[in-house]
């Protein structure tokens, strides 16, 4: 589940800049966070995307490392992007968990829709 909020930074004519806050839960008892002891089959980082044009045409908005020492079901993990330029309208945002080998979780499993004014 992804909860996304928009923080307005400024307005241009047809586009506007926004900081986007992604807040979501993750169950590390299913796939643990990477650590010095766990180096494979673990979550190295989370990536967040705009998938409005479809998953094959996704736009990466940023990433952040999995919390060190995270175990069990972690609620309310949150990260805010830098200011980004967006067209007004409907946007679909998604979060994925990435493993050290570059594999990512299914982007269709953690999405939300936001309307940018």
Using alpha carbons only, how large is the chain's radius of gyration in Å?
15
Q: Taking Cα atoms as reference points, which of 83, 112, 82, 81 lies closest to residue 95? A: 112
SS (H, E, C) 80-102: ECCCEEECCEEEEEEEEEECCCC
Q: What is the pLDDT of residue 25?
A: 93
Helix (H/G/I), strand (E/B), else coil: 68: coil
Burial grade of 80 (CB within 10 A; 0-12, 13-18, 19 or more):
middle
Q: pLDDT means per 10 residues in the chain (117 residues)?
A: 45 71 93 94 96 95 92 93 88 95 94 88
* pLDDT value, residue 15: 78
* Strands 45-50, 73-80: pairing kind: unpaired
Euclidean distance between CA atoms 98 and 63, whole angstroms: 10
What is the number of helices (H) and of strands (E) in the chain? 0, 8
**pTM as predicted:** 0.83
Q: Does the domain made of 2-116 have the CATH classification 2.60.40?
A: yes
Task: Report the pLDDT value the prediction gives residue 12, as an integer from 0 to 100.
Answer: 40
């Amino acid at each position: 589940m992804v909860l996304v909020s928009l923080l307005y930074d400024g307005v241009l004519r047809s586009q506007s800049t926004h900081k986007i806050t992604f807040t979501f839960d993750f169950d590390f008892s299913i796939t643990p966070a990477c650590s010095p002891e766990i180096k494979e089959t673990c979550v190295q980082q989370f990536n967040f995307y705009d998938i409005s044009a479809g998953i094959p045409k996704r736009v990466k908005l940023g990433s952040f490392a999995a919390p060190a020492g995270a175990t069990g079901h972690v609620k309310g993990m949150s990260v805010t992007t830098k200011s980004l330029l967006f067209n007004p309208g409907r946007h679909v945002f998604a979060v994925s968990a990435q493993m050290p080998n570059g594999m990512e979780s299914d982007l269709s499993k953690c999405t939300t829709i936001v309307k940018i004014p």
